[in-house]
Structure 1
């Protein structure tokens, strides 16, 4: 599947600099940025879920300890 990515001049310059710094093509730099962002979003969601579970499980104990 192909896709056109429309960038303004500043965004293109940033992508060019990112690709050059990593020694990769602009296409590969964009793909890596997408993968890294997706991984962060997934990781953040996991942290939120685990935090909710910990609060549900240990919330009453933490409340008692705080008193």
Structure 2
């Protein structure tokens, strides 16, 4: 896989890697892992809410009054 960054993105990644005393590759790989993990959790939560919320809609409406 090849990752093409703009000059601005590459510079920001380079600065961050230097700040953390890590390689640019390590910082980029961690960012990808965090992105996938965070979005996977959000997708799972959305899926559960879509399936379960209608089941409890009447009770939730009553609680909101």
Q: TM-score normalised to the size of structure 1?
A: 0.77
Write the distance in 2 (CA, Å) between the matches of 1:65 and 1:29: 46
Structure 1 residue ranges without an equivalent (≥5): none
Task: Note the 1:1-67 alignment, pairs <5 A.
Answer: 3-66=1-64
Moved over 4 A (4+): none
Root-mean-square deviation over aligned CA pairs = 1.7
Q: Which moved more, 1:34-43 or 1:44-53?
A: 44-53
SS of the aligned residue for 1:42 comes to helix
Q: TM-score normalised to the size of structure 2?
A: 0.79
Relative to 1, partners in 2 of residues 1:9 and 1:62: Cα closer, same or farther, differing over 3 Å? same
Structure 2 residue ranges without an equivalent (≥5): none
